[in-house]
Amino acid sequence: MKYTNYIIQGQFIDIDSIISSTPIIKEITIIIAIVIAIIGILLIIGILPMSLTMDSMRSIRFKYYFLVKRMKKLHYINDIISSLDTPSTKQGQYKMLLLSI
């Protein structure tokens, strides 16, 4: 949390203060930091395409269900209009009126 607040406030982390000054611990810390950075980069590269695929599939599914709902509404309106015994010139006006609801 401490380092997150530094980043939010614009005070960037001084890497030299994190790495120890003892020669053996300094080398181990640098190696561990490099390994963690590589693993993080690989995870981001692997997760990003999956998340984009999931979002696009969700968007396609949403559009499909929206179109199905619209088609059901149009069929319902056509059934209502066909059940009325009105001239065909009035049917277009009734359809527009019902679609605006």
pLDDT digits (tens, 9 = 90+) for 5-14: 766 776 666 6
| Residue that has been written with the tokens 């001084």 in this structure | 14
Q: Which contiguous run of DSSP H or E holds residue 22?
A: none
What tokens were used for 48? Answer: 């990003």
Determine the pLDDT at residue 98. Answer: 72
Compute CA 17 distance to the chain's CA centroid, rounded to the nearest angstrom: 38
Tell me the per-residue pLDDT of 58-93, one tens digit each, with 9 for 90 and over.
Answer: 999 999 999 999 889 888 887 877 777 666 666 666
| Residue that has been written with the tokens 């190696």 in this structure | 31
If we measure between CA atoms, which residue out of 45, 17, 39, 40 comes closest to residue 29?
17
| Residue that has been written with the tokens 């980069």 in this structure | 41
Cα–Cα distance for residue pair 84/100, rounded to 1 Å: 19
